[in-house]
Every structure is written in structure tokens, then in C-alpha cells.
Amino acid sequence: MTVVGEVDLDTAPELEFRVTRAAAAADPLVIDLSGVTFFASAGLACLLTAHGQGHRPHLVPSPAVAKVLALSDLEDFLPRSESLADALRHLAR
């Protein structure tokens, strides 16, 4: 799944819907957030909800997302990679 632009209170519900739907497929889920320019706490809540439902999305964070993860002390909680190719290689193992 690829997300671009801003993830805020207005757009997070759509992200949560899509993450929940994709996670229900029971396949490993990679969320490419490298194109996200703004990442609010609503986006973080969406990722944590997915994790709480037993899904561990693998993230490819942009600098904006990485900053929120670091400020929230969650940078080691959710698995992440520096690029989409790295994330896919990681999941192929």
C-alpha cells in the first residue's frame, strides 16, 4: 500500500479503512509512507490500531513519519525499512 501527501484528522479514517481491509487479507502488509509530507497523531493511531488487531504493518517512512515515530518513542515498535525494495526483501525471508 502506498500513501502520499498528508495524513491528518481528515484523511486518517480512509487510511484506517484501507489498512484494515488490506490486513484482513492475512498477507504481509507493507505501507509505503515515503511520500507522506505531514503525519499527524491520527495517522499514528491508525497504525497502532492495526498493530493492536494483530497486524504488524511493515513501514517505509518518510522523514515526516520517522520524526513522529521517534517523538512518540515508537521507532522500534513497528518494523520499518529505508525503501520499498528493502521492505519487500525483508518480508520475502
Q: Is 0.85 surpassed by the pTM of this model?
A: yes
C-alpha closest to that of 19 among 37, 44, 40: 44
Q: Please, what sign has the CA dihedral across residues 65, 28, 2, 49?
A: negative
Please state the domain extents for the chain. 2-92
pLDDT, tens only, 8-23: 999 999 999 988 888 7
Residue 81 has pLDDT above 70, yes or no: yes
Rounded CA-CA distance 66/54 in Å is 22
Instruction: Specify the pLDDT at position 26.
Output: 64
Match domain 2-92 to its CATH number in 3.30.420.40, 3.20.20.80, 3.30.1360.200, 3.30.750.24: 3.30.750.24
Sheet holding 30-39, edge to edge: 2-7, 30-39, 58-61
pLDDT, tens only, 1-55: 999 999 999 999 999 998 888 877 767 889 999 999 999 999 999 988 888 777 7
Instruction: Specify the pLDDT at position 21.
Output: 84
Residue 74 has pLDDT above 70, yes or no: yes
